[in-house]
Amino acid sequence: MKILLTGKNGQLGFELQRALAPLGEVFAVGTQDCDLADPDAISALVRTVQPELIVNAAAYTAVDRAESEVDLATAINTEAPRILGAEASRIGAWVIHYSTDYVFDGIKQGAYVETDMTNPQSVYGRTKRDGELGLQASCPQHLIFRTSWVVGAHGANFAKTMLRLAAERDSLSIVADQHGAPTSAALLADVTAQLVGRVRREGRQDFPFGLYHLVAGGETTWYDYARFIINQAAAAGKVMKVTPDDIQPITTDAYPLPAKRPANSRLDTHSLRNTFDLELPDWQSGLSHVLQQIL
C-alpha cells in the first residue's frame, strides 16, 4: 500500500510516520515539499505519488493568527482537504483527515456527539468545519477524526509551554473554565494505523467510513492540566520555579485572545469505540508518556 502523508513535521505527522510505516510505503511531505495553499501543487503531488491512501495531518493551526490570515487558513484548512478528496476519488484512493473541537460553539452541557450541529466561533473553527464538508462532498470513502488538545513529544504544545514558563516565572495564571481532554498524538496515530490495517485486511467495500470523535478518555481543564504537568515534572526531578500551588485559576474573560475558544471541548467517543471495538486510554496515561519523553 502506498500512503501519502501530509504534515510530516507536525506533532501528529511525526507520530503517523512511525505508526504507518509497517503498513506500506509512506510518502511523507511537509510544507517544504508541497504548499497546501496552492491547489495546483496539491493536485500535482497526488498525481505524481498515485497513493492508495491519503492521510492529511497538515493544517493551519495558528488559531489566533487565523483571525487576520483568513485566506491562508481557508486555503489550507478548507480548500486543501476538498482538493485532496477530489484527487483521491479520481484515482480510486481514500482519505483520512483530522478535525477539531473548534467546530462547535462550546455551549452544550454534555459531551458533543458527531451529529450535533456545528457552530464555529472562530476563523480556525469555521475553516476546519468547512474542510470537513468539502472532503465529505468530494470523497465518500473518508475517515474524519475530530480531536482536541493534541499533545506530543515532537513539536510545540501546551505541555512544553508550561514547562518552559514554570522554569522562568514565579507563578502562572491558567484558564480554569474550559473543559476538554488532552489527547496524545501517539494515540491518534496508533488508532489511525489500526483502522488502516483493518481496511487493508478486509477491504473497503463494507467499511464504515465517516466522521468520528477521537479523544482520550476523561476530561480536565487547562488549569488542572497545567498542575498535572508540573506535578509530573517535579516527580521526575526537573528543577522549576513554579510549584502546582503557584498556579492560579482564572476565567477565560480574564485572558482575552483574538479567537474565541469553546468553553466545552468534550467530545463523545461512543461511536468510534462501538463501531471499531476500541478502548481509549485516559488522558493522564497518554500525557504521562509524552512527558516521559520530553523530560
> 27 Cβ partners below 8 Å, 6+ apart?
2, 3, 4, 5, 49, 51
The partner residues of 212 in beta bridges, in order of sequence, read: 145
Predicted local distance difference test score (pLDDT) of residue 27: 98
Is residue 112 annotated as a catalytic residue, yes or no? no
- Half-sphere exposure of residue 96: CA atoms within 13 angstroms, side-chain side: 27
How do residues 10-36 score in pLDDT, each as one tens digit? 999 999 999 999 999 999 999 999 999
**% of residues, the chain, pLDDT over 70:** 100
Question: Which class is domain 2-157+181-219+266-283?
Answer: alpha beta
Q: Which among 124, 212, 223, 225 is annotated as catalytic? A: 124
> 224 Cβ partners below 8 Å, 6+ apart?
176
Predicted local distance difference test score (pLDDT) of residue 96: 98
How do residues 241-260 score in pLDDT, each as one tens digit? 999 999 999 999 999 999 99
Mean pLDDT of the chain: 97
Distances (CA, A) of 82 to 94, 98, 169, 198, 283: 12, 13, 44, 25, 31
Cα(27)–Cα(24) distance, rounded to whole angstroms?
A: 9
Predicted local distance difference test score (pLDDT) of residue 7: 97
Predicted local distance difference test score (pLDDT) of residue 170: 93
Question: What residue ranges do the domains of the chain occupy?
Answer: 2-157+181-219+266-283
Average pLDDT over residues 217-229: 98
